[in-house]
């Protein structure tokens, strides 16, 4: 039987999620983010996580935040959960997000947020002492072709000796057969297992499809080699999550 499905409109779905959750007082159980993967897999999660207070963050990010000094660029700042805590701690922070809705919410929450992506940082941002990619932000490296572009761009706006702090997740630390099948599917088409192709959906909106990379620590080291950054340290949480520390060469 023929099905007439016009499909969602392409737009700022992630921004829609953050706006709705912000309007709902950022409480849990109110607004959910829906993420679709290009194999038809779909998942929902509570959008309140984007507003989570510092005590609910992963231990690795909480500790890393305490080390940040100088001027920081929060790449993929979302609703500004990390930026707002850093600001309160006296760090000078610029937030960066490619979602207009995210930028609006982060600004409403007191963050100097700018519209732009990790591969095209807008004018007026330079000499940052720390570049932060939290909330699994290593994913913003996108894919092996995109990663060198992102790493070079972030180096361009970093101060000499700057550090990059990014949280990531080893894709292979899962027992979910659906995810493992996706990794195999990726390997067969010559991709890294954790090379995800995703889109966010919210009400009648869908984002464009985008690449999001979950590299293993070994794969991350490979991606960083040859970039302007030196991989100094990888801290592990024992459950597949890690925090990578890089320093500008």
User: Which residue do the tokens 């992102």 mark?
Assistant: 150
Distance (Å) of CA 150 to CA 62, 82, 117, 121, 228: 24, 20, 9, 9, 11
Identified binder of a copy of itself from the candidate list 3, 25, 55, 160, rule CB under 8 A: 3
Distance of closest approach, residue 62 Cβ to a copy of itself, in angstroms = 21
Structure tokens at 26: 């950022």
8 binds a copy of itself (CB under 8 A): yes
25 to 64: interface string for a copy of itself, x by CB under 8 A: ---xx--x-x---xxxxxxxxx------------------
- Shortest distance (Å) from residue 31 CB to a copy of itself: 9
Draw the binding track, 162-181, toward a copy of itself (x: CB under 8 A; -: no contact): ----------------x---
Binder of a copy of itself out of 63, 156, 187, 204 (CB under 8 A): 204
Q: Which of 66, 203, 221, 239 binds a copy of itself (CB under 8 A)?
A: 203
Q: Do the Cβ atoms of 135 and 167 come closer than 8 Å? A: yes
For residue 211, the minimal CB distance to a copy of itself (Å) is: 12
Q: In sequence order, what are the residues at sequence separation of 6 or more whose Cβ sits closer than 8 angstroms to the Cβ of residue 4?
A: none
Cα 201 to Cα 37: distance, rounded to the nearest angstrom: 11
Which CB, 197 or 235, lies closer to a copy of itself?
197
CB closer to a copy of itself out of 29 and 238: 29
With b for 16 or more beta-carbon neighbours within 10 A and e for fewer, the 152-175 pattern comes to ebbbebbeeebbbbbbbbbbeebe
Backbone phi, psi, residue 178, to 5°: -70, -40
Q: Which residues bind a copy of itself (CB under 8 A)?
A: 3-9, 28-29, 32, 34, 38-46, 178, 201-204, 206, 209
């Amino acid at each position: 039987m023929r099905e007439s499905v016009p499909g969602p409109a392409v737009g700022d779905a992630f921004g829609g999620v953050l706006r709705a959750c912000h309007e709902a007082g950022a409480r849990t159980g109110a607004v959910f983010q829906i993420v679709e993967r290009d194999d038809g897999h779909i998942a929902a999660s509570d959008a309140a996580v984007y507003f989570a207070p510092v005590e609910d963050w992963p231990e690795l990010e909480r500790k890393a935040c305490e080390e940040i000094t100088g001027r920081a660029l929060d790449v993929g700042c979302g609703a500004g959960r990390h930026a707002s805590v850093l600001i309160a701690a006296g760090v000078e922070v610029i937030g960066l997000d490619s979602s207009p809705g995210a930028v609006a919410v982060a600004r409403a929450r007191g963050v100097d947020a700018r519209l732009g992506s990790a591969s095209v940082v807008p004018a007026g941002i330079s000499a940052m002492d720390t570049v932060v990619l939290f909330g699994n932000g290593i994913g913003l490296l996108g894919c092996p072709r995109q990663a060198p572009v992102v790493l070079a761009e972030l180096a361009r706006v970093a101060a000499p000796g700057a550090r990059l702090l990014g949280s990531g997740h080893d894709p292979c630390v899962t027992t979910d057969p659906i995810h493992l099948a996706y990794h195999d599917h990726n390997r067969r088409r010559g991709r890294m297992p954790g090379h995800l192709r995703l889109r966010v959906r919210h009400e009648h909106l869908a984002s464009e499809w985008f690449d999001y990379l979950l590299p293993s620590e070994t794969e991350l080291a490979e991606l960083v080699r040859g970039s302007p950054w030196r991989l100094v340290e990888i801290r592990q949480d024992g459950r597949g999550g890690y925090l990578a520390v890089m320093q500008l060469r």
